[in-house]
Amino acid sequence: LFALGADDDGELAMDHEDESDDIVEHLFDVAEIEDDENGAVTDQVRSVAQSQRIASRTVKSVVDDFEKRSRVTEFFLGTDQDAAARLTAEISAMQSRATVLESAAAALADPDMKRILLDQAAALRAEAAKFSTYLNTQNAGFSLFGWLFQ
pLDDT tens, residue by residue, 65-117:
878 876 776 666 677 788 889 999 999 999 999 999 999 999 988 999 999 99
pLDDT of residue 6: 44
What's the helix, strand, coil split of the chain in %, to 5?
85, 0, 15
Number of other CB atoms surrounding residue 31 within 10 Å: 21
Dist CA 87 CA 136 (whole Å): 11
- What is d(CA 105, CA 132) in angstroms, rounded to the nearest whole number? 25
Q: What is the chain's alpha carbon radius of gyration, rounded to the nearest angstrom? A: 18
Of residues 51 and 74, more confidently modeled? 51
Nearest to 124 by CA among 55, 45, 28, 23: 23
Residues 44, 27: Cα–Cα separation, whole Å:
10
